[in-house]
Structure 1
Amino acid sequence: MDGRDPCPYRILDDIGSAFAMGTIGSGAFHAFKGARAAPKGMRMAGMVAAVKNRAAVTGGAFAIWMALFSSFDCAIAGARGKEDHFNPVAAGALTGALLAIRQGPRKALQHGIAGGAVLGVFEGVGMLIEKVTTYFTQPSAPAYPSVQPGRAAAPPS
């Protein structure tokens, strides 16, 4: 499907990327939230305190989700023997179900369906973008001036 690293390295790479993305994104979110909640003269201190308290926690949650997702994705690809758009959808469903299993089988099923649906939308949009970009980046034949038999081609102007 894409030229990514082999599976054991892909899992570690995805975990690190998810942790960084979760930490940076939640850092910005918690900075805004902390500055807003702090009293008037303590905005900067409130912002720093909120980021220190919550950014790494959110980054860790992203990393755990991605560790499960990438592990399931690699396991499914290994079991099926191919990389296609079905693997991430199934991995999303299994990840959602596993993260909700402590709430009972009914919630696990609901979260599994939701996880599969979300990843299905992501994969569908990815396939659409891939199709559109390949359509617009296809090489086309160069346009040559037409030459009629018995006549010389007109010089380009």
Structure 2
Amino acid sequence: MSDFTREPFPDRIFEDLGGAFSMGCIGGFVTNFFKGMKYSSTKMEMLSSGMLFARRAAPSLGTSFALWGGTFSCFDCLMAKLRGKEDHWNAIFSGTATGGLLAIRGGLKTSLKSAMVGGILLTIIESVSIGINRKTIQTPRQQFKEYQRFVQMSENQDKKSRSELKLSEFK
């Protein structure tokens, strides 16, 4: 299953880096804003405390997301190049490799656990994606039947409008 909507190799990595950084910053801002509001000493300081917490923590979380997204994207492009096709297996292998690589500083055991978690997580995500696609995307036969219904409806509309036009000419 090829994905022709995505950019080729170098652009895809930068696109994923930016998207992951933005997601991390926005999510980090929102969660840390409410955390700051929760820990404020008075009701008057809630807004300023929330902004302070959010301003300090959001870029850090955005950077962590960007690191994960960029590494995942690099592995995804590598797998697509090595295998010669783009399918769901690339994402599963990439999630496994990313989880293992980013946890390698913790040792081999930690790295293997993180690789397993990354692989399982991406397997679940890709399985759900496949299931949703099968339920929502029409097969060519379904598309053809819908096209035939559309053509038939438009022909009926044309006949109806022609008959109305002829009737109006006689009046």
For Structure 1 versus Structure 2, the TM-score category normalised by the shorter chain is: 0.7 to 0.9
Map 1:58-137 to 2 at 5 A: 58-135=61-138
**C-alpha displacement of 1:136:** 8.1
Distance 1:82 1:64 in 2: 25
Q: Which among 2, 10, 13 is matched to residue 11 of structure 1?
A: 13
Deviations 1:92-128, CA, capped at 9 Å, x for gaps? 0000001111111111111101100000111111111
Deviations 1:38-74, CA, capped at 9 Å, x for gaps? 1122111101100111001000000000110000000
Seen in structure 2, the aligned counterparts of structure 1 residues 136 and 25 have a Cα distance that, compared at 3 Å, is: farther
- In structure 1, what is the equivalent of residue 41 of structure 2? 39
Question: 1:66 corresponds to which letter in structure 2?
Answer: G
Structure 2: runs of 5 or more not aligned? 153-158, 161-171
Distance 2:29 2:62 in 1: 9
**C-alpha displacement of 1:135:** 3.6
SS in 2 for 1:38: coil
Bigger Rg, which one: 2
More helix per residue: 2
Structure 1: runs of 5 or more not aligned? 145-154
Distance 1:36 1:136 in 2: 51
Relative to the length of structure 1, the TM-score reads 0.87
Relative to the length of structure 2, the TM-score reads 0.80
Percent identity for Structure 1 against Structure 2:
36
Aligned pairs, number: 146
Distance 1:21 1:34 in 2: 20
Pairwise CA RMSD: 1.8
Question: 1:24 corresponds to which letter in structure 2?
Answer: I
